[in-house]
Structure 1
Amino acid sequence: MDVIVIGGGIAGVATAYQLHAAGHRVCVVERHATVAQGATYGHGGTLLPTPLDVWFGPTHVKSGRAPRGGLIYKPGFNSATRRFMQRLTRLQEHEAFCEQYRRLKPLVDVARETLAAIETRFNFEFEQRNGLLHVVRHARDWELTQSALELLRELEVPHHVLSASECSEIEHSVPTEPAFAGGVLFEQERIGNCPLFTKLLKQVLEDRGGAQFMLGRTVAGLRLDDRRAAVELVPARGSQAGEREVEVVSADAIVVAAGAGSLALLERAGLRLPLHPARFFSLTAPLAYEECAPHLSVVDTVRRITMTRTNQRVRVANAALLQPEREVMKAPAESLAKAATAMLAQATHDWIPGAARISAAHAWDGAKLLSPDGLPVVGQALHPRLFVNVGHGPAGWGLACGSAKVIADLMSGLEPSVPPDTLAALRADRFVSQRP
């Protein structure tokens, strides 16, 4: 089949790779001048989510309302933003949270296998390493993690529950004062450079003639009928092209994997998804003192802020701003951007003091899609020739690679790599029967 993939981030490039591996001809359309320039560029690094990392459940929802949480929530009078949070709040109860993560777990497993196969086959070096340490400051927040800890034990996910002193012994950068409640060590979970991995995968595709990349192009619309699918392309704003004439490119199928930009495109095609973009912030700072630098990735569990040392840099990521969609997709107000970066700086001061020169940090912000039930949207949608791979959120960029494998299975007529209940939980039509 001839397949057009819309989006040159991790989801789009990973989908192109899996489709090529399955024998399809692929064209990737990306509005930027190269790949990995949108939300992919700002990922915190965690490859796959554990029950402590997912962007739903008791820890996130309850603590997110408090000033110490990692979410700046500014809904204004927008009812859609409030409805989104109300849906997410339903997953704060233990049973609902556990059931939803059980649905996600098979996709996590497929993603782990997919990433390992790619890494081994091509000997990729993308600043990957093992070791993730979650830390929790307050006893009341530690209580909120118990649902996740029970789920870790039930699913036999390798981990160690640690006291504060044990956390500091294992990770010397974490101070024992002021006192904190404890932590969880995941020795086998991994961190990696998402934009670097994406670019390496693009290079593999180009070297093997596995995909055509149409860069600097914006998709203005989709055309779908019984016999063929097509995209309407115009030069991206700011490109060298003088005219914005529409170019129509046809294929047998289309995969929309354009992150936050997918919502408007799908809506114009007749598919409205209740996903919501949130603006995420990160700081990449020079290393300050070698003796203070962490050798594990340290995660403030309540704030969802990840602190990772990579070479001579420290990346601090995942402070989030949730506003009405029209506001999220614009540059944030200066006061809100300062509040988000201050949250990142404070987490660095609290957990890895002296490790990073925050005053010299490079700041980044960009929109990422969150779903109201915490699961991405993967599979066929609206039309037999239309597929989607969106909504993975900030917790683990490797999920997009597992979803790409599912897309390739479906498009190739193979048995999907995930069980039927997980596949049903990922489909776009799961939202049709839900009430706002």
Structure 2
Amino acid sequence: MRVLILGGGGVGVTSAYYLARAGHAVTVLDRQPGAGLETSFANAGQVSPGYSAPWAAPGIPVKAMKWLMMRHRPLVLWPRLEPRLYGWLARMLANCTEEAYRRNKGRMVRLAEYSRDALRDLRAETGIAYDHREKGTLQLFRTARQLDHVGDDTGVLDAYGVAYEVLDPAGCVAAEPALARVSGTFVGGLRLPGDETGDAHLFTQRLAALCEGLGVAFRYGVTVAGLRRDGAGIAGVVTGHGEVLTADAYVAAMGSYTPALLRPLGIDLPVYPVKGYSLTLPVADPATAPVSTVMDETYKVAITRLGDRIRVGGTAELAGFSQALRGPRRATLERSLGDLFPDGGDVAGARFWTGLRPMTPDGTPIVGATACRNLYTNTGHGTLGWTMACGSGRLLADLIGGRAPEIAHQDLAGARYARAA
């Protein structure tokens, strides 16, 4: 089967790999000059199945109001005359119930655990290297109140058999020795030993090279102007140059830009761009740098070791498709790093970056078939695109190839929103 994938980020390239490995003839289109140059370029570096949870949760509306008032706030909302933003927010608030949270987290953990296993299989099959480590994630709590609410997540982790450890300050230091220098900053933590870290951009670029060895054709510098419909299916993709490209199946994996592409077809995906920021800086002293990933619960900032670099990522900014780099967001990242690993990295040599994370109101990505016979989606992964990329790609390849997927998948497709309505 000929498959055309629209989008060359981490999700699109992993989709290409699994489809090509299954024997399909695959072409990937991307407007950038190479693979993984947008949202996959400088994310937090976490492969965190255990930390997979929807933002929509009980108590979040009240917390969000408090976050908006913080100086170093993890959530930023720019007032905009944009109906889609407020419609998306309304849907997100509707998911802030105990029942919805458990349902959505269950979906996310299921896909994320599967994806982590798929990544390990891929690594064993190919020998791909991307500054990865298998040393877990430590969610660090600065207050007793944060620690008291750890049970909100461990119940779902128990249900899916995800290993975890609730740690006192000494246990946190045992996991991340550099924290001994700031031991008065935190009261405990939740460690997820099955989580991994790695450079998503490096992974995507190297996997794209492996895909080319499997016969995948990458066409860079090509914009997608629209989809041409023919009856119940898609007849072709119109490029920015007016060229029409055809295939037997089409995969929309354009992140935050996917909804605009599909809307003319009558497919309305509730995906909104949630802007995130990161700093990438050289390790100044390995003894004072993180071993793996530390998630600062107060500021919602992840601090990750990537080889001889530290990646500091966080912030959820609702600002449409703006990619302006804003100084206050950098200050928040520097504050978290300075509190926890003050001597770990060379902040003066940091690279400041921003990207648009495609977020659904229930946190779960949209992976699967659409109302168009030969059109599939692989989008809406939010902050967990790197965590869920391999599992989403493998699942999608099974669906397109007519094989029974290895995990339950019906509730991952976009049709769930029509059912909810």
Query: What is the match of residue 159 of structure 1?
Result: 164
| Amino acid in the other structure paired with 1:118 | L
Q: Does the alignment pair 1:263 with 2:259?
A: yes
Query: What is the match of residue 361 of structure 2?
Result: 372
Query: What is the match of residue 194 of structure 2?
Result: 188
Given that residues 54 and 364 in structure 2 are in contact (C-alpha distance below 8 angstroms), is that contact kept between their aligned partners in structure 1? no
Question: Relative to structure 1, is the Cα distance of residues 197 and 313 closer, same or farther in structure 2, using a 3 angstrom cutoff?
Answer: same
Q: Does the alignment pair 1:427 with 2:419?
A: no
Query: What is the match of residue 128 of structure 1?
Result: 132
Matches of 1:412 and 1:169, distance apart in 2: 46
Q: Does the alignment pair 1:46 with 2:50?
A: no
CA-to-aligned-CA distance 1:15-44 (integer Å, 9 cap, x gap): 111111222111100100111101010221
Query: What is the match of residue 308 of structure 1?
Result: 304
TM-score, reference length from structure 1: 0.89
Given that residues 135 and 301 in structure 1 are in contact (C-alpha distance below 8 angstroms), is that contact kept between their aligned partners in structure 2? yes
CA-to-aligned-CA distance 1:292-316 (integer Å, 9 cap, x gap): 1111211113433111122321110
Query: What is the match of residue 390 of structure 1?
Result: 379
The 3-state SS of whatever aligns with 2:191 is: strand
Matches of 1:219 and 1:408, distance apart in 2: 22
Percent same amino acid at aligned positions? 30
Given that residues 53 and 104 in structure 2 are in contact (C-alpha distance below 8 angstroms), is that contact kept between their aligned partners in structure 1? no
Given that residues 54 and 362 in structure 2 are in contact (C-alpha distance below 8 angstroms), is that contact kept between their aligned partners in structure 1? no
Query: What is the match of residue 225 of structure 2?
Result: 220
CA-to-aligned-CA distance 1:363-389 (integer Å, 9 cap, x gap): 110111100011000111130111100
Query: What is the match of residue 330 of structure 1?
Result: 322
Query: What is the match of residue 230 of structure 1?
Result: 236
Query: What is the match of residue 148 of structure 1?
Result: 153
Given that residues 53 and 105 in structure 2 are in contact (C-alpha distance below 8 angstroms), is that contact kept between their aligned partners in structure 1? no
Given that residues 134 and 300 in structure 1 are in contact (C-alpha distance below 8 angstroms), is that contact kept between their aligned partners in structure 2? yes
Residue 8 of structure 1 deviates from its aligned partner by 0.4
Given that residues 52 and 109 in structure 2 are in contact (C-alpha distance below 8 angstroms), is that contact kept between their aligned partners in structure 1? no
Matches of 1:358 and 1:193, distance apart in 2: 19
Residue 79 of structure 1 deviates from its aligned partner by 4.2
Residue 62 of structure 1 deviates from its aligned partner by 4.7
Residue 97 of structure 1 deviates from its aligned partner by 1.4
The 3-state SS of whatever aligns with 1:262 is: helix
The runs of 5 or more residues in structure 2 that have no matched partner are none
| Amino acid in the other structure paired with 1:231 | V
Question: Relative to structure 1, is the Cα distance of residues 302 and 22 closer, same or farther in structure 2, using a 3 angstrom cutoff?
Answer: farther
| Amino acid in the other structure paired with 1:232 | V
Question: Relative to structure 1, is the Cα distance of residues 59 and 45 closer, same or farther in structure 2, using a 3 angstrom cutoff?
Answer: farther
The 3-state SS of whatever aligns with 2:405 is: coil
Question: Relative to structure 1, is the Cα distance of residues 149 and 71 closer, same or farther in structure 2, using a 3 angstrom cutoff?
Answer: same
Query: What is the match of residue 254 of structure 1?
Result: 250
| Amino acid in the other structure paired with 1:189 | D
| Amino acid in the other structure paired with 2:410 | A
Q: Does the alignment pair 1:170 with 2:156?
A: no
Question: Relative to structure 1, is the Cα distance of residues 390 and 314 closer, same or farther in structure 2, using a 3 angstrom cutoff?
Answer: same
CA-to-aligned-CA distance 1:319-340 (integer Å, 9 cap, x gap): 22113xxxx21233x6xx1121
Question: Relative to structure 1, is the Cα distance of residues 188 and 218 closer, same or farther in structure 2, using a 3 angstrom cutoff?
Answer: same
Matches of 2:159 and 2:376, distance apart in 1: 33
Residue 59 of structure 1 deviates from its aligned partner by 7.4
Alignment of 1:278-293 (within 5 A): 278-293=274-289
Query: What is the match of residue 238 of structure 1?
Result: none
Query: What is the match of residue 10 of structure 2?
Result: 10
One of 383, 395, 411 as aligned partner of 1:406: 395
| Amino acid in the other structure paired with 1:50 | G
Given that residues 29 and 219 in structure 2 are in contact (C-alpha distance below 8 angstroms), is that contact kept between their aligned partners in structure 1? yes
Matches of 2:210 and 2:147, distance apart in 1: 44
The runs of 5 or more residues in structure 1 that have no matched partner are 235-244
Matches of 1:216 and 1:84, distance apart in 2: 31
Q: Does the alignment pair 1:359 with 2:359?
A: no
Query: What is the match of residue 241 of structure 1?
Result: none
Residue 433 of structure 1 deviates from its aligned partner by 4.1
Q: Does the alignment pair 1:81 with 2:80?
A: no
Length, aligned pairs only: 414
Matches of 1:361 and 1:114, distance apart in 2: 32
| Amino acid in the other structure paired with 1:257 | A
Given that residues 75 and 82 in structure 1 are in contact (C-alpha distance below 8 angstroms), is that contact kept between their aligned partners in structure 2? no
Q: Does the alignment pair 1:202 with 2:202?
A: no
Higher mean C-alpha displacement, 382-391 vs 155-164: 155-164
| Amino acid in the other structure paired with 1:141 | Q
Question: Relative to structure 1, is the Cα distance of residues 340 and 115 closer, same or farther in structure 2, using a 3 angstrom cutoff?
Answer: same
Matches of 1:207 and 1:61, distance apart in 2: 49
Question: Relative to structure 1, is the Cα distance of residues 287 and 159 closer, same or farther in structure 2, using a 3 angstrom cutoff?
Answer: same
The 3-state SS of whatever aligns with 2:227 is: strand
Matches of 2:58 and 2:195, distance apart in 1: 22
Given that residues 50 and 194 in structure 2 are in contact (C-alpha distance below 8 angstroms), is that contact kept between their aligned partners in structure 1? no
Query: What is the match of residue 63 of structure 2?
Result: 63
Given that residues 48 and 108 in structure 1 are in contact (C-alpha distance below 8 angstroms), is that contact kept between their aligned partners in structure 2? yes
Higher mean C-alpha displacement, 148-157 vs 347-356: 148-157
The 3-state SS of whatever aligns with 1:284 is: strand
Matches of 1:29 and 1:70, distance apart in 2: 34
Runs of 4+ in structure 1 off by over 6 angstroms are none
Matches of 1:26 and 1:398, distance apart in 2: 23
